[in-house]
Amino acid sequence: MSNLDQNHRLPFLEGGGEMGELTRHFDWATTPLGPAYQWPQSLRTSVSLLLTSKFPMLIWWGQELIQFYNDAYRPSLGQQGKHPTALGQPGADCWPEAWSVIQPLIEQVRTTREATWSQDQFIPIYRNGQLQEVYWTFSYSPILDETNQVRGVLAIVHETTQQVQTASRLLRQTAELAQANAELNRSNQNLQQFAYVASHDLQEPLRKILSFGYLLKDQYGSQLGEGITYLERMQAAASRMSVLIKDLLTFSRITTQQEARTPVSLTQVVTTILTDLELRIQETDALVRVEALPDIQGDRSQLEQLFQNLLSNALKFRRVDESGVALPPQIHIRAQLIETTELPVSVKPALVAKSYHHIEVADNGIGFDEKYLDRIFQVFQRLHGRSEFTGTGIGLAICEKIVINHGGAITARSQVGQGAIFSVYLPA
């Protein structure tokens, strides 16, 4: 009976899938191990354990470190490389590219008779037609023979290349993000410094223009003739410039400032703003109705700015009747709690939440064509001429930035001549 025929009759070579079949068909008599039926019991037991195990295993046996491996280990060898020639091959011949790393570990186990363990060890190997950067977590354990001598080494191996590369990529991305944040912080600091300088350096000349303009008008107005018109236009332009600078600084501050999150009563916020606008409300004979409003986590000063801008617009953009008389503003502020599933399809809050406070500010003003909806929240975008309504075109851009800072969204519904409803969605 040939050695190969005998291999098929040996119980310790049974099973093992593809590698079991290859092991049984291998002519072991051509190796230093000799025919399988002559192997010592220690080798038989080790090979049987290896073939039936679901863990990736490799055995080096004897002085030449002849190799065995199982189906679970097979993928580690790649599609074009060491399989199936690695079976029955001396370790030094199989792993020339990595033997300088592997051989000292094997000798350590042989010498100390103790197991060794490594995590995410870099061991490059040739597979899939090229030398690849591969990482492994493995244990090397001694296999004792019948004389209590170390005859072999059992390697239980798990390839961690994907995990290591993913972790490395995350570390790199984290470092890049930290650098980007640092640069953003520096940019914000520079912007805040610029805003401070701009506030002082730009406002100071404007104050002088306005002051000297008033002096010129008071002391020489009667002598200017038609020139008084040019003087008044100059002062009006300077006043608009002053307001524009203030609005730009407000937008800059809200864009760069880290908001302080504290419990805020929106009822108190609106009450404060209505008090500030009391004179304007009386002058326009406005009717303002405020229903119960929620408490939220946010920055009170920013939320006051939000309602200041929305209510100021509602008071400013008034309709006129057929005789050209401005109608008294009617403003209605209300709120309700809605689930995420109830959000309009077009509304995308900055933060995902289970529910949102939907706050509406409705008015009976001039309204606008909804085809311009995207424009009204952009800086310097105006739908009406300066001669019709005063303003810088920044107010609603500030509103949108404040709402985004609070994780929400803002939109509006309107028709020309039918008023407008501004909807603010804030996480509950």
pLDDT at 306: 94
Alpha carbon separation from 347 to 294, 315, 356, 376, 425 (Å, rounded) = 20, 26, 12, 16, 9
Helices 300-316 and 395-405 meet at what angle, rounded to 10? 150
Is the pLDDT confidence value at 255 over 70? Answer: no
Nearest to 383 by CA among 413, 410, 416: 416
Domain 162-258 has CATH 1.10.287: yes
Cβ-Cβ contacts under 8 Å for 128 (sequence gap 6 or more): 78, 79, 80, 81
pLDDT at 235: 78
Cα(125)–Cα(255) distance, integer angstroms? 52
Sequence letter at residue 413:
R
pLDDT at 392: 57
Of residues 28 and 369, more confidently modeled:
28
pLDDT at 110: 96
> How many residues are given for the chain?
428
CA diameter of the chain:
133
Of residues 355 and 226, more confidently modeled:
355
Ordered by start, the domain boundaries in the chain are 3-159, 162-258, 260-428
Alpha carbon separation from 253 to 248, 309, 422 (Å, rounded) = 9, 16, 23
Cβ-Cβ contacts under 8 Å for 177 (sequence gap 6 or more): none
Q: pLDDT tens, 111-129? A: 999 999 999 999 999 988 8
Q: pLDDT tens, 273-319? A: 999 999 999 999 999 999 999 999 999 988 998 999 999 999 998 98
Is the pLDDT confidence value at 223 over 70? Answer: yes
Cα(143)–Cα(68) distance, integer angstroms? 13
Is the pLDDT confidence value at 335 over 60? Answer: yes
Cα(331)–Cα(314) distance, integer angstroms? 7
pLDDT at 242: 75
Cα(98)–Cα(399) distance, integer angstroms? 63
pLDDT mean across residues, the chain:
88
pLDDT band at 397 (very low <50, low <70, confident <90, very high): confident
Is the pLDDT confidence value at 381 over 70? Answer: no
Predicted TM-score (pTM) of the model is 0.52
Of residues 342 and 181, more confidently modeled:
342
Of residues 35 and 246, more confidently modeled:
35
Q: Which of the four CATH numbers 3.30.390.30, 3.30.450.20, 3.60.15.10, 3.40.50.10440 does domain 3-159 have?
A: 3.30.450.20
Q: Other C-beta atoms within 10 Å of 270: how many?
A: 22
Is the pLDDT confidence value at 247 over 80? Answer: no
Copy the structure tokens of residue 327.
């109608």
pLDDT at 173: 93
pLDDT at 182: 84
pLDDT at 389: 47
Of residues 10 and 40, more confidently modeled:
40
Q: For residues 27 and 3, is the Cβ–Cβ distance under 8 A?
A: yes
Is the pLDDT confidence value at 385 over 80? Answer: no
pLDDT at 281: 95
Cα(404)–Cα(26) distance, integer angstroms? 70
Of residues 393 and 53, more confidently modeled:
53
Cβ-Cβ contacts under 8 Å for 141 (sequence gap 6 or more): 109, 115, 153, 154, 155, 156
CATH number of the domain located at residue range(s) 260-428 in this protein: 3.30.565.10
Copy the structure tokens of residue 388.
């019709």
